[in-house]
Amino acid sequence: MTEAQAKLIAAAEQVLGAKGVITDPREIAPWVSDWRGRVHGASPAILAPASTDEVAAIVRLAAEHRVPLVPQGGNTGMAAGATPAADGSGIVLSLRRMNRIRAISADSRLAVAEAGVVLETLHRAADDIGMRFPLTLGARGSCTIGGLASTNAGGTQVLKFGTMRALVAGVEAVLPDGSVHSGLTGLKKDNRGYSLDQLLIGAEGTLGVVAAVALRLVPAVAGRAVAWAGVESPMRALDLLRFLEARTGSVEGFELVPEDSLQLVLKHVPGTRAPLSSTRPWHVLIEATTAQPGTDVAAELEGLLGAALDQGIIADAVLAASEVQAEAFWKIRDSISEAERVEGQTLAHDISVAVGDMPRFLVEAAAAVEQRFPGVIASGFGHLGDGNIHFHVRAASHAAPDWYEREGAAITRFVDDLVTAAGGSISAEHGIGQLKLAEFERLAPPGRLHALRAIKQALDPLGIMNPGKLVP
């Protein structure tokens, strides 16, 4: 611990009390590695303010002592954006004690949640008033609202409702100079200068600490239908999406699953079974919902899938006959990463291209990777409707245990080059954090890097807000 850190921690104890300063290494340990266990950092303490004023006080102290802060929510990020540096130069600022839902209203269709509110908690609170917060993802039991906003999180319902950027109605944040940006008034229209709210969304804590967020709610789901369809190719999957979108506004989930991924799930995840009796090279999981009671969304989806079958767009389809079966379909989709991990070493890429380009990109990129790195298996699954695929490259069965370390970087560079050449993004929804920093620097246009660095330097001239993340 440096002298400056010791001074900051001592001063923080005055502000936060004993409950707000954790120094026991055993209590710190779970929070200084990323959840995938790939990046290990160090922090001499965890500071845990319980109010926005306390956050502001800590930020001012950090500025005074020139000690970097690493804001952290549920520590479920995919790019190690909330993991402190290995040299222990930073201090983790945990928002988990800020876990109040300050307000929630069906009339205004808004909730104001502090940064440390767990997503699932917000889901339940919205349910309780007959409303819904539509963003969801696998980590919903751990991830927090502040982290979701700071990483502009996506998930499985983006098709209809957008990412966090579309769902945030306002942000309360402590800026690096210790001033509080108060954007929680819930104004639907406000054109007073640059949108600091939008700048803070996706900034990964590098421009300030998100302390609370106003979130848009939508009407509760009155009817839901889940279906599984078999298709001959990703192109046909996209055809199905266009077919449905032209005829209904109810599709909110549209997830692509290759046969290969399905087989891995069936092999490694107990209790799963194939939705279709026939074997098809590609599959689509479709979720349709309606907020209007009396609308039979299942009948509508069944009718549309029947028409798609007649037109030869899909090869086979089945509608989940019950909530249990619907959950079983989703379990297959949500278990792909887990099944792959059991099978062997996997290299994950969270990429996007324009929606209409993804089917062809996916097929061609997988072929190119498999040709360039013989023995590997490349495939993609996920949010086809958003042009966002989790493009995974699995080691050959005979690969060495250090395949990931030895080959990973070269394969990732190859994939990222393909994505960049296609006008796509090397980080669709997981962010840059630490893990993608070098690739981002390698591939971003110089003008863009210059602009990001200028903004960072302008708002955080002392470099105390999550340095070494997001901005190369």
Instruction: Name residues contacting its own copies, limited to 203-232 (CB under 8 A).
Output: 203, 207, 219
Q: Which of 1, 125, 269, 291 binds its own copies (CB under 8 A)?
A: 291
Between 400 and 451, CB nearer to its own copies = 451
Between 67 and 389, CB nearer to its own copies = 389
383 binds its own copies (CB under 8 A): yes
Closest contact distance (angstroms) between CB of 450 and its own copies is 7
Listed ranges 6-14, 65-73, 246-254, 398-406: which one lies at the site for its own copies (CB under 8 A): 246-254
Q: Pattern of binders to its own copies over 352-381, x per CB under 8 A?
A: xxxxx-------------------------
3 binds its own copies (CB under 8 A): no
Between 108 and 263, CB nearer to its own copies = 108
454 binds its own copies (CB under 8 A): yes
Q: List C-alpha distances in Å: 341 to 59, 184, 231, 419.
A: 39, 41, 26, 24
Between 280 and 469, CB nearer to its own copies = 469
**Between residue 293 and residue 332, which ones bind its own copies under the rule CB under 8 A?**
none
Q: Residue 89 has which token pair?
A: 């130069």
Listed ranges 23-31, 33-41, 242-250, 366-374: which one lies at the site for its own copies (CB under 8 A): 242-250
Residues that bind its own copies (rule: CB under 8 A) add up to a total of 78
Residues whose CB is less than 8 angstroms from the CB of residue 54 and which lie 6 or more positions away in sequence, other chains included: 15, 16, 20
Between 238 and 305, CB nearer to its own copies = 238
Q: Which of 180, 318, 368, 438 binds its own copies (CB under 8 A)?
A: 180
Q: Which of 72, 94, 151, 157 binds its own copies (CB under 8 A)?
A: 151
Listed ranges 12-20, 239-247, 310-318, 394-402: which one lies at the site for its own copies (CB under 8 A): 239-247
Spatial distance between the Cα atoms of 225 and 289, rounded to a whole number of angstroms: 6
Spatial distance between the Cα atoms of 171 and 445, rounded to a whole number of angstroms: 29
